Structure formats: C-alpha cells, structure tokens
Structure 1
Amino acid sequence: MTTADTPPTQPSGPTSSGPAPDASSTAAASASSLAWARRRGSLARFWRQYRAQRAGLLGLAGLILIALIALCAPLLVGGDVQSVTHAPGTALEAPSGEFPLGTDQFGRSLLGLLVWGSRISLTVGLLAAGLSVAIGTLVGVVAGHYRGWFSTVVMRITDWFLVMPTLVLAIVLATVLSRSIWTVILAIGVASWPTTARLVRAQTIAVESRPFIERARALGGGDRHIMTRHVLPNVLPLVLAQTTLGISTAILTEATLAFLGLGDPTIISWGGMLQDAREAGAVSSGHWWYLAPPGLAIALVALSFTLCGRAIETVLNPKLGATR
C-alpha cells in the first residue's frame, strides 16, 4: 500500500493576512492625538480662566443674544419690514402696543428695522475687523521677521497710515468708491490695520528672540516655516484679543459713515437709521424714539465686544489683571 504525499503542515497560531502596520504612521497618529489633547486642554484652561471674568461673561451673554436676534431676524420680523410701500403704520407714530418702538417717517416699525439692521451692523463689524486684523498680522509678522531696510520701509508706511485719522481715511475711501456695503467694509479694514501691525511686529520680535527659533534655524527651517509654524501660533492670542476690540470700533465707524450719508442707502443698518432720523428732523421735533433705539443698540454691541476683548486680554496676559 502506498501512502499519498501529504501537504506540508501549516504553522499553528493566528496568521496575518495583510502587511504589518507601518511604525511611522502609528507614530504620526499618536503625535496628532497628543497635539489635539493639548489643544483641548488649553481651551479648557482658557475657558476656566475666562469664566472668572464677570465682565467678560456679561459681554459674551450680550453678544450671544444679539447674534441670535440677527440670525433669527427673518423669522422674527420678516423680510418685508424694509418695504416703504407696504408700511403698516403712519409716519412717526409714538411707541404703542402695536409698535413698541414707534414708526419711522415712512410708517415702518422701528422694532423690526432695529432687528433687521443688526444683521448688517454685525456683518460689517466682523468682516471689516477680520480684514483689518488680517492685513495687520501679515504686515507685522513679515516686518518683524525680516529686519534691516525692508522692515524700516514697511514700518514707515505703517506710521503714515497710523498718523492718518482712521475716520478721515475711511470717509475718503467711501467717497471715492461706489456706495455699497463692500465699500464700507474695505474702507474700514484698510484704514484701521496699522495698530494691529505694530502690536504683532513687537510680539514677533519677542518670539524670535527665544531659543526654540534658533533650534529651528539650526535644523534647516526656512523663513516660511518659522513664520507659519513658530511665530504665527505664538501671536494668535494677541490677534484674537485685537479682533474682538476691533469689531466694536468697526461697528462704530460703520455707524458714523452711514450717519454721514456714505453708506449703502438700499440696506438697513443702525447707522442708517440714525441718518434717516436726522433727515426726518427727529432731533428738533422731539421724536426721541427714532434716535434712542439704534444709538443704544450700537452702544450695547460695542460695549459687549469691548468687555470680551478686555477679558481675553486679561486671560492671555495675567499681568494686565494685576495692573487694572
């Protein structure tokens, strides 16, 4: 009897059907998870310190309320609140049950206009402040990193913009360009960036004097790597605080431009409401309900952003809290 050849026996135990995991990818994943854990820890620590600032919490609560009103404006008052031909009331009615804040010279509800105008005022403030901080951060980081004649020329240009009154420069730009909301945003952003550039440049010089920048250069890090990976993350807290403070200034500037008749006449904003009240003679005729609501709304938003900005500054720089 002949025995058939038996196949070789397979080794016992679990077998792996795919390639072994790459050690470099595992290390990268662990480094990424560690970085995210550190970011979450930093945010939690920032929030704990921010909650200790009562004024900052009050400003944050005000901003959340105003933002919700602006987002829900189409649901609260509807889009036809701006219509002049379908105004529900008569001209310049005093506050009543039907119109809690009265009406304007066209018979439109001032409460509805105030709610709808919050969308434009907040949009202009956020976009104009974002443009201003973006320009200032770029100029400040570049001028602080590259020294010598280049930095000198850039800072002399910055000084020229700095001594120029912001409102005057914004008025000139808004007058030369076409009257629209984008013109107002561009005028405010271009006119108000020098302060941020000065602050960011000083912070950039302080950061680049630290030892880890020298190690990065010794390891072959170029200018772009140092500015984006090392300098920019260290100046972002200052940029954040400057942004919150710049939004309130941008809203006030937009209101001033609209009050002077340099805004977009086709949109409703708080500054435009003040301009309409002035043209309607609300000051001389004693129609206080036409002037007070938009003025108080502008003051409330500016105060809320200022309180948040001061609180962020105190958290990021505890020395400020000791001197105040």
Structure 2
Amino acid sequence: MSKALKIKTTIIFILMASAVSIVALLYKISAGKEIMADNRHYKQFILFKELPLPILSRYMAFAGEYQDHFLFQTDDPSKLLVIDRSFSDTKFFKTGFSIADTKGQAFVYKIHSHFLYLFVGNLSQVKRVNLNDRSVRIFKTPGVFTKVLVIDTAKFSLLGFSQRAPHSMVLQHGVTGANGIISFEEQTLPFTPTSQKYLFGMDGFLHFSRADSNLILTPFYHTRTHIIKYRSGPIETLPSIVRDTVIQSIKGTLRHGRYTNASPKRTFQLYSGLVGDTVFIQSKVPAPEDSYSFFRNHLILDSYHLGDKRYIGSYAIPKKKNLKAKVVPYAGGIFIIYPAGIQLIKP
C-alpha cells in the first residue's frame, strides 16, 4: 500500500470515528433536551423460542387466545395466523371478512371468549363474529372519532375523540338493554389533544386496556400512563421513570374536517400490555447509562406494579436490525412480533 493511500485510509477512518462520536453526542444532547429516563434496573430473561414464518403475509399484532392457541393479526383481514402453545405448529384461520369489509382502512382484530371482533377505526365500526355459530353483528358509534376497542367480556368499550370542539377524549361503554339492543353511555375524560393536533393512526396513538375495574391509558402525546376507574373516576397517574409528562412537538394534518395519520410516528411511551398486576411500557426514552449503540440495538420494556404504583424493572431485548417490532406481554412470557417471524421471551 502506497504512503498516499495509507494517509487517505487513515483520514477516512478518522472521519468515520468522528461522525459516530458526533451522532452519539447529538443523541445525548437531543435526549437531554426532550425527555430522559432515570436510572433503569435491567432484569434477566431468556429467548425461549423463535419461530420463522412464511412470508405470505405481514404479521401485525397479537389478537388473543382461543382454544389453547395464540392468534395473530396479519395485514390481510381474511385470515389470522394460529400458533399452538408449544410454539411449533402454525396454520391460518379464515375470518370470513375481506378487504371490502375494511374499505382499505386500518383495522384491528381482538378475540375474547368465543367472540372475534373486527374493529375498523376510521369507519367507527365494530363487527363481531360468534365463533360458535358464525353469526355476525355490526355496531356503529356516532359523534366520536373512534380509534381504540376495549373488550369487556361479551361487551366492549370504545375510546376516541369527540367530533365536537374542543375534541375531548371520550370513552363509550356498550350497554345491552332488555331488548338486546346495545346502546352507548359516554364518559368524557379530562384529556384534550396538544394544540388540537394529534396522531390519528392505529399505531402510536392511544394504548388502552381493561383490568378489573381499571382502564389503563397512555395517550400518544403523554409520557405518563393513567389509571381510570371504570365508568366513574377518579383518574390516577402511574409513576414513571421518564421525567417529563407531555411532548410538545406533535404535529397533525387536518383534511376535510378530519385528522389524518400524516403525523410523525414519534411514540415515546408505548403501552404494551398488562399481565396480572404488572403494566409493561415499551420506551423510546434513554436513561443516562444507556449508550447510543445500546439503545439503538435494543427494545426497552419498563415494568410497573399497578396496585403499588411503583417501578419494578426493565428488559433490554436485542432487536433485529432495520426491522420494526411489536412487543406483546402475556401470562407466559413476551412476544416480539417481526414482519416475518415471532420470538417468545421468558422473563
């Protein structure tokens, strides 16, 4: 190698090292200016099993459990992926729905007991299938931009923003009357969009769960998780190791009187699930000890005790490079859902 070439190579390495250092420094500065987590306590876990899946569909979310099987939503509304509890055998379950039922809008499947719910948020519509006899019922809710479905035994609740200014967050409870017709009781919650501009997509928006008499809510524009007493109040806030409470940089686009999903997918605190009395929050907020490379290459999952309202610990799960993942805790472990594969983590 010539002397000139050696000099050029050395300069290139120096520039590359400098670039990495600058990016890491900017990461620390940016994180410090926006939000920062306190020190985390990382807990141990094992990768129990990884199941590669055929690239016939994109695997989106955990739909629920039915007859000792796990069911996962795909990007095709006509089928769900079914995995047995041994995490070895896979097959597809035909739902009876099609693209025509969703009209190309974002949709979510949920299974509870023997009911399969197809929730199409932008249509404010829920279709419920009785898996025993395949009968279908359709429910619509007026007067609300509905985005989240909450299953409550054979009934359900819906969460969204009122279509009336100032677009307060509202919770609608489905109530079955003596004639079998479901009507909705509305509960207004003391949350309004930041500057009335909020993300209107299915991901990174509202993350909602029911636990006994509690409703758990993490609004997109907050870094706090709220505990809401079912159908009444008061509203409590779960302590968080993330210091700031509201992100002020959310943007939105208003088209034809409706908010669209043309907003940055900038989710800082993502509610992942409730297992027993433990709330899991996927965090994109670094702690002081989290280096740039560590935080970039791991999924961070913080856990809190719902009853005691305290921080329990965190998990740093290595993630596949350049692939988006969904984290779903359940009673036996934690699912990590990738576009073409699923991991099962055992704490």
| TM superposition score category, shorter chain reference | under 0.3
Q: Which has the higher contact order (CA 8 A, sep 6+)?
A: 1
- The structure whose residues are more often helix, as a share, is 1
TM (norm. structure 1) is 0.24
